[in-house]
Structure 1
Amino acid sequence: MKKIVVLTGAGISAESGIKTFRDADGLWEGHDVMEVASPQGFERNPELVLDFYNQRRRQLLEVKPNKAHVQLAELETTYSIEIVTQNVDDLHERAGSTKVTHLHGELRKVRSTFDEQLVMDWDQDLNLGDMCEHNHQLRPHIVWFGEMVPMLDRAIEITQTADILVIIGTSMQVYPAASLVNFVNHETPIFFIDPKPNVTKSQFSNLTIIEDKATTGVETFINTLSTLYS
């Protein structure tokens, strides 16, 4: 069974109504990202940070997976599929994908500020005074700027196993996630799905660019698969 590794970013979830990480002016939902996505921001104003993620979590619970998420999940009936996502939403899982690795954390989880391995599911608001079992404040289970990306090694291992690599809805400009493409075999076919692709065929061997949004671009990719491997 062919192994397809899919790297996804904000573009795939945007079609479900989740805003991309940063607007053109560099703000995230009106905030400087360092205010709401850094350890320093959390130390300075924890209430602001907690409220920010509470709003993101509420929004996530109101949206649904879109056609692209569902089509990728359905591919599991024919191919071995592993998804590595930069997104903190759970739309891949809710669509039915069973092997999803989150590089930047998960919005519907929180963790202890005392023991980062103490992670728990969390769907309600997170407030100051919500403590872990060691009586330390809980925080969003999100990888903030300046923090290590604990799932990076696992993501590299997954990418190295790809027979086919698909990149959807990400500019591949944010490191370390952008480095993953360098870990596939030189001969591995790469499909890049984005309405405004910033890559060229001269950059990678076996690159196919699908200049389209995720929902229709994934469908094009699947049709191409059926042609190549029928």
Structure 2
Amino acid sequence: MLVAMEWARGVTRVSVLTGAGISTDSGIPDFRGPDGVWTKNPRMADLFTYQNYMADPEVRERFWATYSGHSAWSAEPNDAHRALAELDRAGLAVRVLTQNIDGLHQRAGMPDRKVLELHGSMHRTACTKCSRTLPSSQVLARIEAGEADPPCVDCGGILKLAVVLFGQYLDADVLGQARNIAAASQLFIAIGSTLEVEPAASLCSVAVEAGAKLVIVNRDPTPYDGLAVEVIREPIGVAVPRICKALLQG
């Protein structure tokens, strides 16, 4: 049972950092948990390394084969996604900074302009040579038609989901926006993130140093637990709706 959540009183500006844990109830496996993709098969991390992806056609073929049937394409928002969207519709100033690439916050009803996708979106694909972008559905259709590693139709370059892989830096403008949002918040909630991937995790410090209260909702300990006014271990699908209810009553 959650405690009284005194930190929810009087809050009007909320920033939320979400990680893979918020989407597991939607049927999307996380990466580092007990049943995580990389926990079960550490070699899968090779597919998410930019240097490997660009250098090896076999890695790209495995990547596309893995993602073409990924559960994220058909996943639906869960109670936690919907609760955050409802909090925004109720009139609080809510901004979501997500490490996820699944687009479920938007599907739950959060306006695009209020969701900052720190690591990009799987729903767009970009050419690494000419920078053309296109819906990922068009690339998936080519894969289903038999192209294992489809090149760009304009320049023949390597296509890649418009997401940040290991070995790539976050977009400087996106990171700058995220830091500004974190610094402007009264309450910063980190949900379902191990807070081990930087620089996204450091947004917790940015918020606290600017005067915000930090609340962490995660099954396992994180490096930032010591900065938090409360750490909640309850299931995300239970904890987040309760937090949102407390904020609306605050």
- TM superposition score category, shorter chain reference: 0.7 to 0.9
Q: Which deviates more, 99-108 or 126-135? A: 126-135
Q: Structure 2 unaligned segments of length 5 or more: list them.
A: 1-10
Q: Does 1:38 align with 2:55?
A: no
Distance in 2, Cα, partners of 1:87 & 1:95: 14
Superposition pairs for residues 178-217 of structure 1, below 5 Å? 178-186=201-209, 187-198=211-222, 203-204=226-227, 207-217=229-239
Q: Does 1:8 align with 2:18?
A: yes
1:16–1:66: 8 Å Cα contact kept in structure 2? yes
Which stretches of structure 1, 4 residues or longer, exceed 4 Å deviation after superposition? 23-26
The number of residues matched between the two structures is: 225
Distance in 1, Cα, partners of 2:180 & 2:153: 32
Q: Does 1:225 align with 2:241?
A: no
Q: Does 1:106 align with 2:121?
A: yes
Distance in 1, Cα, partners of 2:164 & 2:187: 28
1:50-77 CA-to-partner distances (Å, cap 9, x unmatched) read: 4434533542122211010011111112
Amino acid at match of 2:220: K
Q: TM-score, normalised by structure 2?
A: 0.79
SS in 1 for 2:162: strand
Amino acid at match of 1:213: P
Superposition pairs for residues 1-230 of structure 1, below 5 Å? 2-22=12-32, 24=34, 27=38, 30=41, 32-58=43-69, 59-77=71-89, 78-98=91-111, 99-116=114-131, 118-123=132-137, 124-125=139-140, 127-150=148-171, 151-186=174-209, 187-198=211-222, 203-204=226-227, 207-227=229-249, 229=250
Q: Give the deviation of 1:216 after TM superposition.
A: 0.5
Q: Structure 1 unaligned segments of length 5 or more: list them.
A: none
SS in 1 for 2:26: coil
Identity %: 26
Distance in 2, Cα, partners of 1:154 & 1:10: 21
Distance in 1, Cα, partners of 2:102 & 2:73: 9
Distance in 1, Cα, partners of 2:188 & 2:98: 13
Q: Give the deviation of 1:47 after TM superposition.
A: 4.1
Measured on the aligned residues, the alpha-carbon RMSD in Å equals 2.5
